[in-house]
């Protein structure tokens, strides 16, 4: 494979500066982007891999990736001499180097990186089609100067087929069973890696063996093996890269041998401490036994394969122990590091399960598990606290000699606690399926058991917020806060108390009452300062009030507490929107929609992004339609109807911008508006929009029917009569001059003027005044 010399310029854009490494997928160079004057990485894909890259489309998918924990892919270049990918040069050290230099990392630090990598995988696996990295390991994760991580090296993912049937590399210890083609490959790679670890290292960092009897001639042999298709398999091209290229042919029994047949094995055995050769059988004994995993090999890789590799990578960072190539030899997380919490250990063990069925399905599911890791630990803590309470209570009862009395009282309390928590659980489950009546009933029963415990009250306020009954949410919340003597002995109860203020602040925000939203969020932060979401929403509210600098300061506090990237994007989008930076706002909000699992946040981001698109003009109608159509089916009920109304508006904008397809998009808009109407979401604005749309489509009679009915339902609204006046003007415009009669238009105008008196100025009423005057001047009235 030809290399690139320093000074070579690719595509008149990228100047090669130096070779910085090579691995299973190709040779890597640092280069300079001549136009941007920034460092980039150019990777020449190996010829073995090049044959697996099926289309330019696969590379274009990578070029469209945009995520804070992934490098930007600039280009995909095909020349006669090779195929190259170009992406960001990430400054820093990789995590394999970092662990070797600094030792293992704390659980707190590893969990932070786990969340970031989970967000990156959730984003990759959520692409259509999903992007499978297939070579996640510490060497492919960069630790940046700001303490965050970046998942690099997507070239291997270029070789994935639609069926995910193969990968182009194996990283011993980090690749899952299904990534090995067959038992022979697993046995060979496990054996070779074990042997490599037992051999001395050359100055270049390669494992080597010396020819027996010639200790001083400097002879060095790098371990290689020929596959049956003639492809040479290098165990390591650089000192720490344990990735092997996979041959395209099927392995046979010969691949179980270490050396090719034309080498005299007896003369190439490594020396042990006393200078005698180590027997081949001694090394062979350390190889893995493939028979146990035979049913898992060659099954094809998917998102779960990335989960396994990430699990092994987190294991390495957390314990400092390199995962062995032999699956059977891995030490469980809890034994490798006794300081790992039960919840985090459970998550890692699930990730590293040998069977793909037992792992998390994809990055999204893993990310959700990491974000809720504390809940796994919390159950253990609560159970331990209860056990301690039982022991203390029993000892106290014995000491006082009233075991039966206190035991009876204790049992009663335990039964009440059990019943209380069962009702709270029932309410949460009912709310989860939007069965709010049952949820409210369960909470009422819980308050009968205890009228001072805060859980039931907090859950009720949350229910009101979820239902969109923001005014009742605020009224009821303030009533409880001012009248109920809550028992706040436990720290978690203090947090729940703060959370009621937080919910009230968000309810005020939804009503666009930003001053009171700020007040309630400040109260929440006075009572609890460790929830990053409080700072996020406080920052968004401050931005709405025009306090941009303070908003950024509060957002930074939330980031420091570890709020997830979707929350950061949401806040950045809100702030950019207030600043009038619409393109930046749209980018941030699109990312929030893509990353978040929180439906409330996703809907909020979609609605705001729709407003941003409208601020940017008709040219963004296609973007708005694509975003809303892609996410609409995730919602139901009132949440869906709000998005359908936005989508109908986007169809109208598209119709106005594209005359050739106007009729198609007007019909789509009408269908969407009618869907909202039939769902029971009947508002003044919706009915007016439907009437305007009928008018635009020259369906005057249908428009008139709606507006006439509205005059009965909204007798004091001048806008209805104003719309009827405009409708009549359009109807007359369709007639010949001699047939036109503007008398009805004038009658509607007079009624509109009567009801308009004293109201805030309206541009459409001003225009109607001008139209009536023109009709008078023209002799039509």
Long-range contacts of 680-683 (CB under 8 A, 24+ apart): 681/638, 681/641, 681/645
CB 96 within 8 A of CB 270: no
List of E strands, 577-627: none
**Distance separating alpha carbons of residues 775 and 747, to the nearest angstrom:** 13
- Unique residue bearing structure tokens 């300061």: 553
Angle, alpha carbons 615-61-96 (nearest 5°): 110
Tokens read off for 541:
């509210």
Longest Cα separation, the chain = 119
* 3-class state of residue 40 by DSSP: strand
**Distance separating alpha carbons of residues 118 and 138, to the nearest angstrom:** 15
**Candidate list 47, 60, 135, 587, residue with the active-site label:** 135
**Distance separating alpha carbons of residues 427 and 459, to the nearest angstrom:** 8
Query: What number of other Cβ atoms are within 10 A of residue 592's Cβ?
Result: 27
Tokens read off for 571:
């806040």
**Distance separating alpha carbons of residues 563 and 112, to the nearest angstrom:** 10
Secondary structure letter of residue 118 according to DSSP: H
Q: Which of 626, 666, 622 is nearest to 648 (CA)?
A: 666
The helix or strand, by DSSP H or E, that contains position 88, with its residue range, turns out to be strand 82-88
**Distance separating alpha carbons of residues 318 and 347, to the nearest angstrom:** 13
How many CA atoms lie within 13 Å of 158's alpha carbon, on the beta-carbon side? 32
Q: Which of 466, 189, 146, 154 is nearest to 325 (CA)?
A: 189
Q: Which residues have a Cβ under 8 Å from the Cβ of 128 and sit 6 or more positions away?
A: none
Query: What number of other Cβ atoms are within 10 A of residue 44's Cβ?
Result: 27
**Distance separating alpha carbons of residues 92 and 69, to the nearest angstrom:** 14
* 3-class state of residue 27 by DSSP: strand
* 3-class state of residue 41 by DSSP: strand
Secondary structure letter of residue 780 according to DSSP: -
The count of residues in the chain is 781
CB 473 within 8 A of CB 464: yes
Q: Which residues have a Cβ under 8 Å from the Cβ of 189 and sit 6 or more positions away?
A: 170, 172, 180, 244, 325
CA Rg value for the chain: 34
Three-state SS string across 500-559, please?
HHHHHHHHHHHCCCHHHHHHHHHHHHHHCCCCHHHHHHHHHHHHHCCCHHHHHHHHHHHH
CB 495 within 8 A of CB 532: no
CB 150 within 8 A of CB 330: no
CA distances from 486 to 258, 482, 490, 523, 534 (A): 72, 10, 11, 16, 22
- Unique residue bearing structure tokens 């709000």: 642
CB 354 within 8 A of CB 327: yes
Q: Which of 493, 491, 494, 496 is nearest to 477 (CA)?
A: 496
**Distance separating alpha carbons of residues 130 and 146, to the nearest angstrom:** 29
Q: In the annotation, is 135 catalytic?
A: yes
With b for 16 or more beta-carbon neighbours within 10 A and e for fewer, the 429-439 pattern comes to ebbeeeebeeb
Q: Which residues have a Cβ under 8 Å from the Cβ of 137 and sit 6 or more positions away?
A: 96, 171, 174, 242, 243, 309, 312, 313
Q: Helix 743-756 vs helix 763-777: angle between axes, to the nearest 10 degrees?
A: 140
* 3-class state of residue 143 by DSSP: strand
Give the residue numbers marked as catalytic. Answer: 135
């Amino acid at each position: 494979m030809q290399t690139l010399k320093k000074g070579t310029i690719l595509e008149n854009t990228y100047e090669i500066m130096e070779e910085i490494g090579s691995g299973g997928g190709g040779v890597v160079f640092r280069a300079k982007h001549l136009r941007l004057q920034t460092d980039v990485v150019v990777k020449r894909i190996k010829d073995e891999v090049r044959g697996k890259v099926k289309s330019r489309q696969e590379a274009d998918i990578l070029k469209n990736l945009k995520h804070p924990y992934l490098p930007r892919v600039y280009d995909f270049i095909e020349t006669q001499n090779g195929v190259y990918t170009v992406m960001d040069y990430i400054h820093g050290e990789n995590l394999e180097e970092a662990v070797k230099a600094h030792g293992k990392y704390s659980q707190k630090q590893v969990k932070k990186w786990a969340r970031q990598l989970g967000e990156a995988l959730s984003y990759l696996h959520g692409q259509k089609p999903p992007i499978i990295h297939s070579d996640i390991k510490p060497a492919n994760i960069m630790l940046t100067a700001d303490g965050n991580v970046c998942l690099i090296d997507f070239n291997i993912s270029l070789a994935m087929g639609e069926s995910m049937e193969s990968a182009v590399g194996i990283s011993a210890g980090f690749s899952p069973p299904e990534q090995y083609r067959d038992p022979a490959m697993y046995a060979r790679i496990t054996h070779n890696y074990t042997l490599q670890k037992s051999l001395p290292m050359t100055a270049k960092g390669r494992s080597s063996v010396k020819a027996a009897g010639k200790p001083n001639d400097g002879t060095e042999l790098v371990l290689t093996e020929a596959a049956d298709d003639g492809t040479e398999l290098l165990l390591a091209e650089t000192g720490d890269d344990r990735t092997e290229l996979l041959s395209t042919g099927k392995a046979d029994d010969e691949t179980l041998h270490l050396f090719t047949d034309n080498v005299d094995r007896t003369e190439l055995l490594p020396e042990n401490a006393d200078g005698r050769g180590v027997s081949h059988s001694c090394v062979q004994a350390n190889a893995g036994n493939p028979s146990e995993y035979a049913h898992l090999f060659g099954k094809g890789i998917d998102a779960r394969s990335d989960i396994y590799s990430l699990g092994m990578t987190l294991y390495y960072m957390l314990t400092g122990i390199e995962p062995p190539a032999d699956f059977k030899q891995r030490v469980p997380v809890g034994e490798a590091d006794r300081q790992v919490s039960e919840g985090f250990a459970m998550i890692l063990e699930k990730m590293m399960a040998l069977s793909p069925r037992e792992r998390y399905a994809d990055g999204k599911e893993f990310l959700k598990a990491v974000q809720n890791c504390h809940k796994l630990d919390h159950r253990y803590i609560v159970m331990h606290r209860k056990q301690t309470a039982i022991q203390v209570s029993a000892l106290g009862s014995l000491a006082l000699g009233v075991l039966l009395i206190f035991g009876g009282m204790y049992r009663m309390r335990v039964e009440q606690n059990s019943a209380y928590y069962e009702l709270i659980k029932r309410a949460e489950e009912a709310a989860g399926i939007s069965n709010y009546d049952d949820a409210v009933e369960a909470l009422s029963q819980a308050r009968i058991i205890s009228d001072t415990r805060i859980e039931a009250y907090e859950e009720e306020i949350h229910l009101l917020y979820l239902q969109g009954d923001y005014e009742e949410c605020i009224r009821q919340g303030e009533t409880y806060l001012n009248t109920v003597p809550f028992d706040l002995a436990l720290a978690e109860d203090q947090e729940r108390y703060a959370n009621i203020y937080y919910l009230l602040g968000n309810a005020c925000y939804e009503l666009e009452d930003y001053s009171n939203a700020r007040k309630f969020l400040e109260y929440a932060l006075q009572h609890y300062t460790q929830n990053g979401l409080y700072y996020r929403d406080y920052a968004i509210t401050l931005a709405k009030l025009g306090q941009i600098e303070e908003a950024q300061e509060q957002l930074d506090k939330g980031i420091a507490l570890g709020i997830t990237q979707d929350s950061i994007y949401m806040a950045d989008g809100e702030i950019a929107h207030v600043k009038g930076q619409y393109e930046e706002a749209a980018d941030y909000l699109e990312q929030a929609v893509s990353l978040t699992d929180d439906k409330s946040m996703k809907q909020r981001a979609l609605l705001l992004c729709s407003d941003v698109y409208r601020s940017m003009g008709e040219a963004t109608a296609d973007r708005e339609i694509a975003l809303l159509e892609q996410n609409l089916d995730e919602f139901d009920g009132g949440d869906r109807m709000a998005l359908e109304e936005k989508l109908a508006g986007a169809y109208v904008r598209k119709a106005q911008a594209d005359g050739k397809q106007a009729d198609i998009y007007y019909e789509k808009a009408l269908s969407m508006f009618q869907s909202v109407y039939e769902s029971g979401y009947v508002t003044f604005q919706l009915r007016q929009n439907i009437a305007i749309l009928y008018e635009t489509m020259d369906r005057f009679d249908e428009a008139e029917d709606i507006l006439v009915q509205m005059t009965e339902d909204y007798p004091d609204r001048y806008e209805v009569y104003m719309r009827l006046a405009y409708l009549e003007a359009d109807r007359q415009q369709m007639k010949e001059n001699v047939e036109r009669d503007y008398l009805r238009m004038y009658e509607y105008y007079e009624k509109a003027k009567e009801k308009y008196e004293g109201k805030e100025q309206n541009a459409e009423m001003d225009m109607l005044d001008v139209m009536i005057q023109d009709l008078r001047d023209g002799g039509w009235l």
